[in-house]
Every structure is written in structure tokens, then in C-alpha cells.
Amino acid sequence: MSVEHASMRIIDGYARGGTDLAADEVWALEAHLEACRLCRERLSAAVTAHAPAVATLVADVWSGLEP
């Protein structure tokens, strides 16, 4: 069984806010991310690289949720 992963162009574009992606690309990526751990990890790395303020915000939220 072969699994196709999202391209780095789409993942990087999504990490930057998705404004340069077609609506169907965004929808397909979001559906794919629900089931693909590898692409979620690639997206996490892209957010850290392309949107550090978002990565910081997410880290702050997670730390606030810790017991």
C-alpha cells in the first residue's frame, strides 16, 4: 500500500497562512493531516521555520494546559 504525502510547497504555504494555496489544496491538506503523522511533523517543522510567532503561541498555550 502506497501513501502519498503532501508536498513541501503545500506544507510551507499552509504554515505561512495558506494565502498562496488554492482552496482545494488547503482542504486536501487538512484532510490528509488528520491521518498522517509524518505530514503533521513536517508541518510542525515548517511552522517553526516560517512562522515562529505561531510556534511560540502554541507552546505558550500548551504550557498553560499542563497540570
pLDDT tens digits, one per residue of 15-37 = 998 889 999 999 999 999 999 99
**Model-level pTM?**
0.78
Q: How high does pLDDT run on average in the chain? A: 90
User: Quick one: pLDDT band at residue 52, thresholds 50, 70, 90?
Assistant: confident
CB burial class (10 A; 0-12, 13-18, 19+) of residue 13? buried
